[in-house]
């Protein structure tokens, strides 16, 4: 059976570790959305590997890792990651392990420059999204404008490619001074031949490739990035990323929708919640609702090393939000959950879970609020759970917490992660 793996919260749930675990029994690992805004930290034998673009299945030598059609790819980050993995002896010949869809859109220096400039301009205002500054939003924007440059375009004739680049740049004359725009264009053109040389042996048509792999009985693991609550349609809009992070997106962004028929969808969540960037978080430990929560949040950040793998920003910390998790399970089509990082809370005392949002007039929300204006004033209703000293299914207190999650959200917790190392994970069901 194929598996779709998703973040069930606001990203940074520990997806990389679960992908690494499931890759043991997968033949192909496919990224289907997002770009190098993701950051997966993997610990194997005391050694840390951080991946932003290349699927986390790469550390298992038998897997083929695919960058799908729905990803936006920054060529220089991609090449840097390949070089680092080669230096770490993960593989010698990249094209034997990594394939790249010819339809993947490129993040060019123009996109990253736009992302950074816009966020700088919006700093201190409601328009500040707190993006990772990696050009993700602008790349998806130019894709939707039908002005994007794709991997396959690099292999067109030079005049044809230049025409596409001109079209892309023509929409952004207003955004930069002429000299600056010329510099950005020069930077792009300078590297194209180098990118082509590296990409050429890796480029595939994902539909043909995955169709053949499926016929040959290969097992596919689809690796999601970010999380359901950052989904462009269903997340806490507008404080979201620019791609679709829910289950069905794996079919579209992976290039072979037939592969997700009958697949199981596994959502990854932490025992608590975090988010980076702007936007309301109902259960954030800000000292508004529970005495001592600010200090607890600081301890969790420290013990859980809750700093962005991509930007290094401190993550915002909150109590487990079962209202958001249940919504994520339903909207993303999640069949099973993995709960990660329960070990971080060991010995920190009793813990709270949010089981309802109330409106300022005291009436309950009967569904997940669509507007951030509503989330900003929503009042969390908490229940207390007994703290635990060990975050494994053998610990009765932790097990009671996992059962509470299952009962509330309506799907089983099948995996439990209790430490950063590869072996610190248990199959529960």
Catalytic site positions: 12, 40
Binding segment for ligand IMP (CB under 6 A), chosen from 104-112, 134-142, 326-334, 337-345, is 134-142
Q: DSSP for 12-54, please give it.
A: -SSHHHHHHHHGGG-SEEEE-SB-TT--EEEEETTEEEEESSS
Pairwise CA distance, residues 357 & 382, whole Å? 9
- With contact defined as beta carbons under 8 Å apart, do 285 and 317 qualify? yes
Question: Residue 18, interface with ligand IMP (CB under 6 A)?
Answer: no
Percent helix, strand, coil in the chain (nearest 5)? 40, 20, 40
Binding to ligand IMP (CB under 6 A): which residues in 252-311? Answer: 276-277
Pairwise CA distance, residues 49 & 59, whole Å? 9
Question: From the list 136, 281, 282, 345, which residue makes contact with ligand IMP (rule: CB under 6 A)?
Answer: 136
Strand ranges inside 112-253, DSSP E:
203-204, 220-223
39 vs 369, which CB is nearer to ligand IMP? 39
253 vs 385, which CB is nearer to ligand IMP? 253
CB of 316 to ligand IMP, least distance (A): 10
Q: How far is CA 181 from CA 115, 185, 231, 302, 413, in A?
A: 14, 6, 31, 42, 51
Strand ranges inside 168-276, DSSP E:
203-204, 220-223, 264-270, 273-275
Our separate counts of H helices and E strands in the chain read 13, 19
Question: From the list 137, 342, 417, 420, which residue makes contact with ligand IMP (rule: CB under 6 A)?
Answer: 137
369 vs 385, which CB is nearer to ligand IMP? 369
CB of 344 to ligand IMP, least distance (A): 17
Structural tokens at position 250: 């794996």
CB of 71 to ligand IMP, least distance (A): 12
193 vs 233, which CB is nearer to ligand IMP? 233
Pairwise CA distance, residues 37 & 74, whole Å? 10
Question: Residue 419, interface with ligand IMP (CB under 6 A)?
Answer: no
Pairwise CA distance, residues 410 & 350, whole Å? 23
- What is the size of the binding site for ligand IMP (CB under 6 A)? 21
2 vs 37, which CB is nearer to ligand IMP? 37
How open is the CA angle 264-306-36, to the nearest 5 degrees? 60
Question: Is the omega angle on the peptide bond into residue 238 within 30 degrees of 0, that is, cis?
Answer: yes
Binding to ligand IMP (CB under 6 A): which residues in 173-202? Answer: none
Roughly how many angstroms between the first and final C-alpha of the chain, as a whole number?
Answer: 16
Binding to ligand IMP (CB under 6 A): which residues in 29-58? Answer: 37-39
Binding to ligand IMP (CB under 6 A): which residues in 93-132? Answer: 129-132
Question: Residue 425, interface with ligand IMP (CB under 6 A)?
Answer: no
Question: Residue 244, interface with ligand IMP (CB under 6 A)?
Answer: no
CB of 124 to ligand IMP, least distance (A): 16
Structural tokens at position 213: 């792999």
Binding segment for ligand IMP (CB under 6 A), chosen from 16-24, 43-51, 223-231, 346-354, is 223-231
Question: Residue 245, interface with ligand IMP (CB under 6 A)?
Answer: no
Question: Residue 246, interface with ligand IMP (CB under 6 A)?
Answer: no
Contacting residues toward ligand IMP, per CB under 6 A: 10-12, 37-39, 129-132, 134, 136-137, 225-226, 230, 239, 241-242, 276-277
């Amino acid at each position: 059976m194929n598996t779709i793996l998703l973040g069930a919260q606001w990203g940074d749930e520990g997806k990389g570790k679960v992908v690494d675990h499931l890759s043991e029994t997968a033949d192909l690992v496919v990224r289907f959305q997002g770009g190098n805004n993701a950051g997966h930290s993997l610990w194997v034998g005391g050694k840390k590997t951080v991946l932003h673009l290349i699927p986390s299945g790469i550390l298992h030598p038998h897997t083929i890792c695919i960058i799908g059609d729905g990803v936006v790819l920054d060529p220089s980050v991609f090449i840097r990651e390949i070089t680092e993995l080669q230096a770490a002896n993960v593989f010698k010949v990249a094209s034997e392990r990594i394939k790249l869809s010819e339809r993947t859109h490129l993040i060019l220096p123009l996109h990253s420059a736009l992302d950074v400039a816009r966020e700088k301009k919006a700093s201190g205002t409601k328009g500040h999204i707190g993006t990772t500054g990696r050009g993700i939003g602008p790349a998806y924007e130019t894709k939707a404008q039908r002005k994007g440059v794709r991997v396959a375009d690099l292999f067109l004739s030079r005049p044809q490619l230049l025409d596409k680049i001109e079209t892309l740049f023509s929409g952004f004359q207003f955004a930069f001074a002429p000299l600056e725009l010329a510099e950005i264009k020069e930077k792009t053109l300078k590297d194209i031949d180098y990118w082509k040389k590296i990409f050429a042996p890796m480029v595939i048509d994902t539909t043909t490739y995955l169709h053949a792999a499926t016929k040959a009985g290969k097992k596919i693991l689809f690796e999601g990035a970010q999380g359901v609550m950052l989904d462009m349609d269903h997340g806490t809009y507008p404080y979201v990323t620019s791609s679709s992070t829910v289950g069905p997106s794996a079919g579209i962004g992976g290039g072979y929708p037939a592969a997700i028929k009958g697949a199981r969808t596994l959502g990854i969540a932490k025992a608590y919640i975090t988010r980076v960037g702007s936007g309301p978080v109902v259960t954030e430990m800000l000292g508004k609702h529970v005495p001592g929560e600010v200090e607890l949040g600081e301890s969790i950040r420290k013990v859980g090393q809750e700093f962005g793998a991509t930007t290094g920003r401190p993550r915002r910390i909150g109590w487990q939000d079962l209202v958001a998790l249940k919504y994520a399970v339903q909207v993303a089509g999640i069949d099973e959950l993995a709960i990660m990082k329960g070990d971080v809370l060991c010995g920190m005392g009793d813990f709270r879970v949010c089981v309802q949002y109330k409106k300022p007039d005291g009436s309950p929300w009967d569904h997940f609020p669509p507007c951030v204006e509503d989330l900003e004033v929503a009042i969390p209703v908490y229940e207390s759970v007994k703290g635990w000293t060990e975050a494994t299914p053998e610990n009765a207190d932790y097990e009671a917490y996992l059962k509470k999650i299952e009962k509330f959200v309506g799907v089983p917790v099948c995996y439990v992660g209790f430490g950063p190392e590869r072996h610190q994970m248990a199959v529960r069901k």
